[in-house]
Amino acid sequence: MPEKPERQRIVSDGCPELIIHYGDLYTQYQPDGTPIMQPRSFVFGQITTTLEIAPTGITGIAAARFFPDGFIPFSGFPIKQMENRAVPLELLFSGDTLQLELAVLHAKQNEERILILSKFLSNKLKENDTIDRVIKMSIGTLVQSNGLINIDDLSDKIQINRRKLERKFSSAIGLSPKQLSKVIRLQKTLKMLNQNGTGSLTDLAYENGYFDQAHFIKDFKEFTGVSPKAFYSENLKMNSFFIGSDL
């Protein structure tokens, strides 16, 4: 009897991602546990809740990860409607996305797949400057502070009303400044956990700007649905793959 594939929890890194499965597809589990099959090619928006996936066979994935505001220049699809959702490429881009799928499926090496994705995205890139200067400055400040800057202080630094800043984030990123700040801090903490193991969570929490261990666990559960120790025991073999890259 074949071994049942293990579910893997995905942790938000604040970055939308374009994914093409050139291997067997993945099952994605809804928050209520309902399984759905991911499309062959899609962009996954911001993750703000528990997300679990499981392979259905031999996997092969070609992907492009965007900066938090980086998908805006490629498609007019509303970012907020992509939250916790794998949106098929044909809904996001004009033209024949099946041709892109087939090119990636038939490619022999990863280098070839990278070139195919790069060319596709370059052709879809809008000529006009659609990245908001305020958003770029805000993201840079949040990353530089490791998510520790107060949002009122961020508004003062960028010289913009807080409500206006929040509206800009919602339309350009799909997260509020506070949510992105939590994601940035959580990702930094996860990388330290991955390197050092689950030693003293209290020390780790203080080192990364949380009030205490309980504060860290609360934020962790918000995005994963489990405690840090439970997450690492479930994902011991693959946790480094599902932790995001540096912004």
Count the neighbouring beta carbons within 10 Å of the beta carbon of residue 138. Answer: 28
pLDDT one-digit tens code per residue, 188-219: 888 887 776 656 778 888 888 898 888 989 99
- For the chain, helix, strand, coil in percent to 5 are 45, 15, 40
The pTM score is 0.85
Among 49, 35, 40, 36, which residue's Cα sits nearest to residue 19? 40
Rounded to whole angstroms, how far apart are CA atoms 147 and 184? Answer: 5
Rounded to whole angstroms, how far apart are CA atoms 21 and 16? Answer: 16
Task: Please give the residue that has the higher pLDDT: either 237 or 140.
Answer: 140
pLDDT for the residue numbered 119: 94
Percent of the chain with pLDDT over 70: 89
pLDDT for the residue numbered 227: 85
What is the secondary structure of 127-140 as a DSSP string? SS--S-HHHHHHHH
pLDDT for the residue numbered 30: 86
pLDDT at 241 over 50: no
As a whole number, mean pLDDT of residues 11-29 equals 95
pLDDT one-digit tens code per residue, 110-129: 999 999 999 999 988 865 45
> 3-state class of 9 per DSSP?
strand
pLDDT at 239 over 60: no
pLDDT at 173 over 60: yes
Q: Spell out the domain ranges in the chain.
A: 8-124
Beta strands in 22-143 (DSSP E): 26-29, 35-37, 41-44, 51-55, 61-65, 86-88
pLDDT one-digit tens code per residue, 51-101: 899 999 999 999 999 999 999 889 889 999 999 999 999 999 988 899 999
In order of 74, 112, 137, 180, 204, the CA distances from 9 in angstroms are: 28, 29, 31, 19, 21
Do residues 141 and 158 lie in contact, with contact meaning Cβ atoms separated by under 8 Å? yes
Do residues 219 and 209 lie in contact, with contact meaning Cβ atoms separated by under 8 Å? no
Model confidence band, residue 1 (pLDDT cutoffs 50, 70, 90): very low
As a whole number, mean pLDDT of residues 16-23 equals 96
